Structure 1
Amino acid sequence: MAGSLAGGVWSDRWGRSRVILALSLLSIACSLLFGWLLPAPLWILVVLAALFNFSAVGDSAIYSAALTERVPQQHLATAYALRSILGFGMGALSPWLFGLLLDLPGNAPVVSWGLAWTGLGLVALVGPYLSWRLLRTLTVEDRR
């Protein structure tokens, strides 16, 4: 909840696209690191997991707000449906990819977990890339 609230406040202050980009990159960085830290002390994993959770949910409300501000009213329901389909679709494919990478034969546990979390982070790079592309196309006024 804290991530969602903070993300909303920050997006009002610094612009939706910028905050979406920053939070998604932070979330991906956490994913890329998380599995490789299997042998790390528990407190490090807990801190990283909290940061990961905070950043992963921090942009969710911003997407909804951005859709209502950018999409013409007659297309808003379609835009929300498309967002849901893409979100649920990735939510359905992610566990499969994670399990596939985790179960690769011949790896030590830290390598298996590292590959699984890294795979999710690499796939998620599509989001910040598209956000960055959108940010480049917006005028200075529209970047808010």
Structure 2
Amino acid sequence: KATHGYVASRDDASGPDLLQPLAQLNFGVLVSGFPPRDPSLHQIVLKGASSRSPLSSATLHVVGEADAWVAPENSRALMAAWSAEAASLYLHDRGHQVPSNKRFTEKLGRFLAAQLPAETPPQTHNL
């Protein structure tokens, strides 16, 4: 459910309204993610890091140690909004990019396959 961008773009959306789509996500892959810059939203999102009800949708957080645009500690701060069981980390030594190496593509494939309903067999495509 890629609805967060839509809700965030609405003029009448505020505070908790912006978090509702996050709580409804089935899963997410966050590349160089960071908490909202708006101070009030920043605190709402990060509340999960210190509360008893962190976000529970499965997430893969992709963080570049040499990212000059989004500091790795900001990506880790966003990751802390999810429970430790739900959030997984892929740390790479590059900058602000989506890795394309075999190690990452295999991890991404395993993560996505784990999100499929049990009765749906994975499909392969020959390119």
Task: Verify same fold: TM over 0.5.
Answer: no
Q: TM-score, normalised by structure 1?
A: 0.27
Q: TM-score, normalised by structure 2?
A: 0.30
Structure showing greater radius of gyration is 1
Q: Would you tell me which structure has more strand in proportion to its own residues?
A: 2
